[in-house]
């Protein structure tokens, strides 16, 4: 493979995720994006991950009942001359840890806001995460077919609450029943909205020129109002600036309705034109650039039993540099082992396909037989380790008990696999045979019992356990560590990946332990 074709492939790619508050329209907009990407022919027939084969499993039933999405899938499609990778992020706040790691694997984000509601709490949290890496943000103001809040006020709210400047690219004309379309401030073009066409790609009648008499014919008095308003908007808002967008300081803002499939294509035009191609990533030793010929990638998510027919575990890897070719040999750096990868998969709206080639910016799925962990790095030889893909110490704990004690092997296996996914963590105290489940959010406990039942045929229940918090233990000196192990034996446990963990019955206990053992590090996050 020549360097120039690598550079071309990289330049073509746009890898992004959608962040939003539940119900703002993420699922609906994802579906419309897939429609524009020609992955589906008609919206409403395939409801993304919420139908098709997966919907048949109990697991997905639960997702549907609760109205949350708990899986991350990856969708790739061409759009104009670009190749777009859309990573689906779990929507519920209980899965923030998973979402956090997914956001490490993208180069830009689409923020969807319900224009009737404005900036909501979950969006604020997710924006905080994107800020850690100054990820460029594109904004879509959704549900213009409803009565919305004042557009200028909405943009002010985004600027004040989320601390990012807004540059309107389009501007809405009317709202609710009187939503007429949008005006593009950059191209001086009005696109007219037609109702009842949400399931298909619309032609969208366009009128060039704000002063065009055609506009008065098409939308009557709204044309007069629009001209006044645009004057005001141009004066009061920021102009789009590519550098400010790329550094995460300014967001281009689009308006439309995902349900009506209006405005989604405008947003995609902006995304493919301006969002960054695959970016470099830091390792412990150096920064890796996407155009390097050596292959590198990191695992940001593991998921068990994605497909009930396959019963397997898939590790999602973001390719950081170079090209994956079927059958290539890669170094699994943490294990110091060479593996031949012949069966990596890509995901197309829930279906998986064998992949022959994939490039920096793409996400591929590796079959995981228990050897891969979140945060693992794969390379064509160089001993690198990507940083910034953490596990967070859980904040909620329960002891898990079997209804049928003979099924302990299945329980252990199930828990280990589910903890590998990183959504839940399992701790085994050194001093007894308890199995303690730790989670960042309460819903995860239900998910674990549900999945143990449907995927591992184990009936389990929870009991309260006297654990308030957990910290991963590290010590520079082996002697210090051994001494600590003896002294703190009763409070020590191993997590799913055999890492030593301090489980504290109270915060005060933790504080005392830290004071008593100043040479020992009590870590709230862990990178493999």
Asked if residue 405 belongs to a known ligand binding site, the reply is no
Instruction: Rank residues 92 and 318 by Cβ distance to ligand GDP and give the closer one.
Output: 92
Q: Are 261 and 43 in contact (CB under 8 A)?
A: yes
Give the list of residues 6+ apart from residue 336 with CB closer than 8 angstroms, or none. Answer: none
**Cα separation, 420 vs 229, whole angstroms:** 54
Instruction: Rank residues 172 and 260 by Cβ distance to ligand GDP and give the closer one.
Output: 260
Asked if residue 145 belongs to a known ligand binding site, the reply is yes
Q: Which stretch binds ligand GDP (CB under 6 A): 140-148, 218-226, 271-279, 311-319?
A: 140-148
DSSP string, 277-294: PSPPEEBSS-EEPTT-SS
Q: Which stretch binds ligand GDP (CB under 6 A): 18-26, 162-170, 506-514, 516-524?
A: 18-26
Q: Which stretch binds ligand GDP (CB under 6 A): 137-145, 172-180, 397-405, 491-499?
A: 137-145
Is 93 an interacting residue with respect to ligand GDP (CB under 6 A)?
Answer: no
CB of 139 to ligand GDP, least distance (A): 15
Q: Are 170 and 162 in contact (CB under 8 A)?
A: no
Asked if residue 189 belongs to a known ligand binding site, the reply is no
Instruction: Rank residues 27 and 417 by Cβ distance to ligand GDP and give the closer one.
Output: 27
Task: Find the DSSP H helices in 237-285.
Answer: 242-246, 264-274
- Sheet-wide strand order for 425-429: 460-464, 396-402, 436-439, 425-429, 492-495, 500-504, 469-475, 520-523
CB of 142 to ligand GDP, least distance (A): 5
Asked if residue 89 belongs to a known ligand binding site, the reply is yes
Asked if residue 142 belongs to a known ligand binding site, the reply is yes
Instruction: Rank residues 27 and 377 by Cβ distance to ligand GDP and give the closer one.
Output: 27
Instruction: Rank residues 171 and 378 by Cβ distance to ligand GDP and give the closer one.
Output: 171
Asked if residue 143 belongs to a known ligand binding site, the reply is yes
CA 154 to chain centre: 25
Give the list of residues 6+ apart from residue 179 with CB closer than 8 angstroms, or none. Answer: 144, 145, 172, 173, 193, 257
CB of 456 to ligand GDP, least distance (A): 29
Q: Which of 76, 96, 139, 142 binds ligand GDP (CB under 6 A)?
A: 142
Is 258 an interacting residue with respect to ligand GDP (CB under 6 A)?
Answer: yes
Is 28 an interacting residue with respect to ligand GDP (CB under 6 A)?
Answer: yes
Q: Are 318 and 280 in contact (CB under 8 A)?
A: no
**What six digits make up the tokens of 350?**
């829930």
Give the list of residues 6+ apart from residue 21 with CB closer than 8 angstroms, or none. Answer: 113, 114, 117, 120, 121, 122, 123
Give the list of residues 6+ apart from residue 371 with CB closer than 8 angstroms, or none. Answer: 332, 335
Q: Which of 20, 191, 379, 425 binds ligand GDP (CB under 6 A)?
A: 20
Q: Which stretch binds ligand GDP (CB under 6 A): 58-66, 139-147, 187-195, 395-403?
A: 139-147
**Cα separation, 467 vs 503, whole angstroms:** 6
Is 257 an interacting residue with respect to ligand GDP (CB under 6 A)?
Answer: yes
The label of the residue with tokens 């915060």 reads: 507
Is 146 an interacting residue with respect to ligand GDP (CB under 6 A)?
Answer: yes
**What six digits make up the tokens of 11?**
């330049």
Is 27 an interacting residue with respect to ligand GDP (CB under 6 A)?
Answer: yes
Task: Find the DSSP H helices in 305-442.
Answer: 408-420
Asked if residue 20 belongs to a known ligand binding site, the reply is yes
Q: Which stretch binds ligand GDP (CB under 6 A): 15-23, 347-355, 383-391, 501-509?
A: 15-23
CB of 30 to ligand GDP, least distance (A): 7
CB of 173 to ligand GDP, least distance (A): 16
Instruction: Rank residues 146 and 334 by Cβ distance to ligand GDP and give the closer one.
Output: 146
DSSP annotation of 257 reads B
Is 318 an interacting residue with respect to ligand GDP (CB under 6 A)?
Answer: no
CB of 26 to ligand GDP, least distance (A): 3
Burial of 241 (0-12, 13-18, 19+ CB in 10 A): middle
Instruction: Rank residues 148 and 504 by Cβ distance to ligand GDP and give the closer one.
Output: 148
Is 87 an interacting residue with respect to ligand GDP (CB under 6 A)?
Answer: no
List beta partners, residue 208: 189
Burial of 51 (0-12, 13-18, 19+ CB in 10 A): middle
How many CA within 13 A on the CB side of residue 440?
Answer: 18
Q: Which of 91, 290, 375, 496 binds ligand GDP (CB under 6 A)?
A: 91
Binding site, annotated residues for GTP: 20-27, 88-92, 142-145
Q: Please give the residue ranges that form the binding site for ligand GDP (CB under 6 A).
A: 20, 22-28, 91, 142-143, 145-146, 257-260
Binding site, annotated residues: 20-27, 88-92, 142-145
């Amino acid at each position: 493979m020549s360097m120039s074709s690598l550079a071309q492939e990289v330049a073509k790619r746009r890898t992004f995720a959608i962040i939003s508050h539940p119900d703002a329209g993420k699922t609906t907009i994802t579906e419309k994006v897939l429609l524009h990407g020609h992955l589906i022919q008609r919206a409403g027939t395939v409801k993304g991950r919420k139908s098709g084969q997966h919907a048949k499993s109990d697991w997905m039933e639960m997702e549907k009942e609760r109205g949350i999405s708990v899986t991350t899938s990856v969708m790739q499609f061409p759009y104009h001359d670009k190749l777009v990778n859309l990573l689906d992020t779990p929507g519920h706040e209980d899965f923030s840890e998973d979402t956090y790691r997914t956001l490490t694997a993208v180069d830009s984000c689409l923020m969807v806001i319900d224009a009737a509601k404005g900036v909501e709490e979950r969006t604020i949290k997710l924006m905080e995460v994107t800020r850690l890496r100054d990820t460029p943000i594109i904004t879509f103001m959704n549900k213009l077919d409803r009565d919305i809040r004042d557009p200028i006020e909405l943009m002010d709210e985004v600027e004040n609450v989320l601390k990012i400047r807004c540059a309107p690219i389009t501007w809405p004309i009317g709202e609710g029943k009187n939503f007429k379309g949008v005006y593009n401030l950059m191209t001086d073009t009005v696109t007219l909205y037609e109702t009842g066409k949400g399931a298909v790609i619309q032609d969208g009648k366009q009128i060039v020129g704000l002063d065009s008499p055609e506009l008065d014919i098409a939308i009557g008095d709204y044309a007069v109002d629009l001209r006044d308003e645009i004057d005001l908007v141009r004066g009061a808002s920021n102009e789009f600036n590519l550098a400010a967008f790329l550094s995460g300081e300014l967001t281009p803002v689009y308006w439309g309705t995902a349900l009506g499939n209006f405005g989604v294509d405008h947003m995609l035009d902006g995304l493919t034109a301006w969002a960054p191609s695959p970016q470099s990533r830091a390792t412990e030793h150096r920064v890796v650039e996407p155009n390097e010929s050596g292959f590198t990638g990191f695992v940001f998510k593991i998921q068990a039993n994605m497909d009930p027919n396959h019963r397997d575990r898939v590790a999602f890897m973001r390719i950081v540099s170079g090209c994956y070719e079927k059958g290539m040999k890669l170094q699994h750096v943490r294990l110091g082992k060479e593996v031949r990868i012949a069966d990596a998969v890509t995901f197309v709206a829930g279906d998986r396909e064998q992949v022959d080639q994939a490039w920096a910016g793409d996400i591929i799925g590796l079959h995981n037989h228990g050897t891969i962990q979140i945060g693992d790095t794969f390379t064509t030889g160089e001993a690198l380790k990507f940083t910034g893909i953490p596990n967070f110490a859980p904040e909620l704990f329960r002891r898990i008990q079997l209804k049928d004690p003979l099924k302990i092997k299945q329980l252990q296996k199930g828990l280990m696999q589910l903890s590998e996914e990183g959504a839940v963590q399992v701790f085994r105290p050194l001093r007894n045979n308890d199995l303690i489940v730790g989670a960042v959010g309460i819903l995860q406990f239900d998910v674990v019992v549900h999945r143990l039942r449907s995927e591992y045929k184990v009936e389990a229940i929870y009991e309260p356990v006297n654990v308030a918090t957990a910290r991963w233990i590290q010590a520079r000196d082996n002697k210090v560590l051994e001494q600590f192990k003896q002294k703190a034996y009763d409070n020590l446990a191993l997590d799913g990946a055999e890492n030593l963990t301090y489980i504290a019955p109270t915060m005060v206990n933790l504080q005392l332990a830290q004071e008593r053992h100043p040479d020992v590090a009590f870590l709230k996050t862990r990178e493999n």
